[in-house]
Structure 1
Amino acid sequence: MNIWHICIFELRRILKIRSVVLNLFILPLLLIFILGTALSSTMGTADDVIPDTVRVGIIHLSTESGGGSSTVNQALDSFVESPEVAEMVKVQNFTTEEEAVHSLRTDKLDFAVMIPSDFEQNVMMGKEARLQWIRGKDNTLNTLGETLFTRFTDEWNRQMAITKVLGPEVIAAMSSASESGTANSTSIAVTNPGKTGTAYSASQYYAASMLAMFMLYSGMTTSTSLFGERDNKTLIRLQAAPIGNGVIFAGKIAGNSLLAFLQATTIILMTYWLYGVDWGTHPWYIVLTCVCITLASMTLGVIVALVCKSTASASATLQGIIVAMTFISGGFMPIPIDFVQRLSQFTVNHWALQSFLRMMLDAPVAEILYNILMLGVVCAVLLLISGLIYRKAGYRYE
């Protein structure tokens, strides 16, 4: 009898226990479905954060007093007609503030912009010139409108400052360069906030979190199995056979490790097929992360089994450790507290969760590997501790 015989026997024995199959395979899938569905509105998907086109009303300055106002009106019209801005706003022109306010109240507009009467005067005096906002009902669309037109005033103030310091010839040269195609008609860089690689759905978040947590629960089966051989007095029979304690111990660890891998494979594939969870395009990094979590799970199970005196105390201790690490790392809900976030960096769950999320968001490989490396460091510390405890206590019948 060698390690693999014990490993296969251990795996077959565990899979025959209905409670293990329920807790390690079915329960995480149910939790991912419930949490992902119930909390989808709090996180949202990438599509949820794509804003609609903003219906903007522009109240133009009267041009009766001179050509300066006409210049501002033309500059603003050119700004909203640029391709980058035109994709995000639908413009309606008004001559009075009352008309724009009425359209906002009747839900015909989302946001309105008015050029103050002293706009040109502030520019000529070197003061900061600002547009006047008339906000609508949607805060998101208001923020988008303010951001776009603040960029217009910033660019206008910048050009006026250049004209005042360097002279109008510089502005003329810049304009001719823009018309010849050597410069963009607007310096605005418009990005889609739903495609910036920073949004993940609730299903993705809780799939990664529950995978890490329930893989750690495989360590509880390890602890229970090690105690079971003692309690059932079968360990002394195994020790009577021509095999060493190390072979028995390693076989049990290998069997529970295979169980953890089977569990991870099931959760990843089922969440992908049933819930549409996108795990990213780095399958080998997912495997490497699962290897590290499995190592952490087994070492935690060994530490608890060798330190505690009974199955009940070992199960309670390990369960408390797993739940605490999951909570601190934000596995149930992200915790925006600096102290808690710093504390979570000492947990397995934090680095496992961040590794999975970086892969889901298609982050740079260096960023993914950094999180996996830190997870490996935590696992190495746990492995060292478990090795020292095993060397001192050993696995034997007492």
Structure 2
Amino acid sequence: MIISNKPPGLSLLFLMASLCVSLAACDNTDDTHTDGHRAQQALHSVEVVLVENSTVSLSQTVSGTLEAVTKIRLYNEESAHITRLPYYEGDRVKKGTLLVQLDDALLKTDLAKASAARAQAKLDLSRLKKLLPKKIATEEDVAKAKTQLDLAIAEENRQITRLQRTRIKAPIDGLIIKRLYEPGDMLAPQSHILSIIDPTALRLKASLAERWLPLVKKGQAVTLHIDALGDRAITAKISRIHPTIDASTHKGIIEILLDPVPDGATVGQFARAEINLSATGRDILPVHTIHYEPEGAYVYRIINDEKGETIAEKVRFNQGQQFGAVTEVLSGLEVGDRIVSRGYLGLRDKKKVHIDRPSPPLPGVTK
């Protein structure tokens, strides 16, 4: 048995002192933790995204009315009455079919007269050639007679051509879409009588903003919708890109060819084409991270200062084309730069910040 010589009061005093030291140590630890937490809370919290070099894409919808690739207007070259005009709008005709017959009675008379003159000139030349050895006719007489024969032949051919032009035939297999006269009408020269199209080749001419024209290519596939045909998606392709831009609208013309033409599609129908555009190797960042002032566009970039502290700096940059929710960076920023995407309220240049978490991937971007 151990017997202590210390008074009971002294032991109690020692126990109370030890307890106070322990409690003080705990209080110091809690204060240190609380101060660190409060300091972190005092920093401006932000979320960031990175400037990326990626392939961006978007779709543009253009609209217009369908038209025929081949449309021919038929005119007369001789003034005459119409004697035959058998076809109407909507009639299909084969190449070479007689579409218009004009009165040719006077032209046949002129042709007969020219043929007679040609025959007489030929006879005169033959007679003079026989007289030439007898010195009754001269070489000059024979030369003049030959010239007269050439002129008579030319006139006969001219009258044959005029007579042929009283018969207008279909230049293609096609569809009559316009008829402007009736049999018996008197036509002046160069009158528009009929219009014919090839219904097997239709196209859509549409305007596209100049900034998107470099992103489209001849032969590129597009998806076409014709309102009259419902929701059916139709395969088409870009067949031509016009080389000039309208200075008033800053738009260019593209031609979209329906290949093949679907059943029910016809000239004049309203159509919409969806064109997928993509651009490779573009430095981009989200549109919502950009701020504007009179001097231009700017963002807040996260950097570490010379003390190693994380701060936000205000950076102006040159902005390019916008692709949906992202925009192109031309200069002023580099790939990998951390850009503030949330936490703008109260943010200013050189302010210390704390990064909460990165934002989700950029929309419409393919790495």
Q: Same fold (TM over 0.5)?
A: no
TM-score interval, normalised by the smaller of the two chains = under 0.3
TM-score normalised by length of structure 1: 0.23
Q: Larger RCO: Structure 1 or Structure 2 (Cα < 8 Å, ≥ 6 residues apart)? A: 2
TM-score normalised by length of structure 2: 0.24
Give 1 or 2 for the bigger CA radius of gyration. 2
Higher strand share: 2
